[in-house]
Amino acid sequence: MFARDVEKTPAYGQPSVEASEEPQVILNPTISNTNAPPPPVFDPDNFNPPDGGFRAWSQVFAGMLINCLAWGYPATFGVYQLHYEETLGLPSSQISWIGSCQTFLTFAFCGPAGRLADAGYTRETVLVGSVLAVLGSFMTSLCTEYWQIFLAQGVCTGIGLALIFMPAVSVVSSYFKAKKAFALAVAAMGTGVGAIVFPATLQYLIPQIGFPWAVRCAAFVALTMAIIANIILKPCLPPRRSGPLVEWDAFRELPYLFFSLGAFLNFYALYFGFFYVSHSPFVLAYYPVLTKDPRKMGTRFGMVQTICAFASLAGAPTAGAIIDKSGGDFVWAQVWGGTVLLMGASMVMASRIASSGWVLFAKI
């Protein structure tokens, strides 16, 4: 009997027949599967982008359209400056604050926009930026007061241009490795196209149909470019969800530090020509050299642009104040601009030397 009872009693640690017949309920199969392999870790050294092909070059085309809008449109402010001086009767330095604010916000919001792109929100960021940029352009055509123009053209359009520009640079960079500098240079050609299309549109149409409808026509051109770019743009890198908004360690790298200083000085003098003479932005092809991990491109690019924001904010009003103090003479403003540009070029040269040494021809 004792033996028979032992046979009926389950051994320690063994489930009984009744218990084994009960269905096991798994509340979360993902959590319960402890043997599942961890997600693959992104290795920037072993990352091989397409480096060509239809999809990659279509991103370059989208980047060209976005550069055309993001930097070609601000290049028209010389036309706006002249019109506002004639209609509002305000000093040049005061009116230039509209363009300076637009440029400042375009650069300043590149940092957050780049981080959003790195986190996987490229398309959403570009879409919101497109809406703001186009909306600000249409609202400008309805403005009649200085504060209205400042909010529409300076604030709304400025933020929108930042949100579309920085993610596009990050996407184009992620599709190329050996041809990265060339692809970014081709995308940057859109700046020159926009600097021709938008000013020419305004200068031709203002005498024909008036200022409000000329601005609306330019806004329709911007809307067309934004729609096409939003359809084409597709990121290829996995998102980097975690990470700081500002990579402070980047400033410990001498090439990055010198380049940031050079960019600041160059942009400090750059927009003098845009606002008062009616130069394209800094060449983007050098940016990828400063970032080894492609998933940090948006953040690091945006950091440099944010630094340039403060230079662009003060540059045009400084030139305007010099011109006003000189009785409308441009000579001293030109001397100031040339001196600052030389200082900026020396900082970029120092960045090049810190990156590759005292070598005349070196691929970096």
What does the pLDDT read at residue 30? 45
Indicate whether 30 belongs to any domain. no
State the CB neighbour count (10 A cutoff) for residue 103: 30
Q: Say what the pLDDT of residue 17 is.
A: 45
**Which of 75-89, 211-225, 281-295 has the weakest average pLDDT?**
281-295
Residue 152 in any domain: the answer is yes
More confident residue, 167 or 300: 167
In a domain, 94, yes or no: yes
User: How much is the pLDDT for 282?
Assistant: 44
pLDDT at 83 over 70: yes
Extract the tokens encoding 210: 């008036």
Structure confidence at residue 298 (pLDDT)? 58
Residue 59 has pLDDT above 90, yes or no: yes
For the segment 51-76, the average pLDDT, to the nearest whole number, is 89
In the chain, the number of structural domains is 1
pLDDT of amino acid 280:
40
**pLDDT (0 to 100) of residue 262:** 78
Does 168 have pLDDT greater than 80?
Answer: yes
In a domain, 289, yes or no: no
pLDDT at position 138: 96
257 or 54: which carries more pLDDT confidence? 54
Q: What residue type is assigned to position 261 of the chain?
A: L
- Residue 140 domain flag: yes
Residue 47, domain member (yes or no)? no
Of residues 112 and 295, more confidence is placed in 112
Report pLDDT digits (tens) over 227-263: 999 999 998 877 776 666 666 777 777 777 887 777 7
Domain CATH code at residue 273: 1.20.1250.20
- Which whole number is the average pLDDT over 309-315? 67
- 205 part of a folded domain: yes
Nearest alpha-carbon partner for 308 in 74, 59, 69: 74
pLDDT of residue 364: 55
Structural domain that includes position 185: 56-277+296-351
**pLDDT-based confidence at 64, cuts 50/70/90?**
very high
Identify the residue with better confidence: 259 or 54: 54
User: Quick check: is 305 in a domain?
Assistant: yes
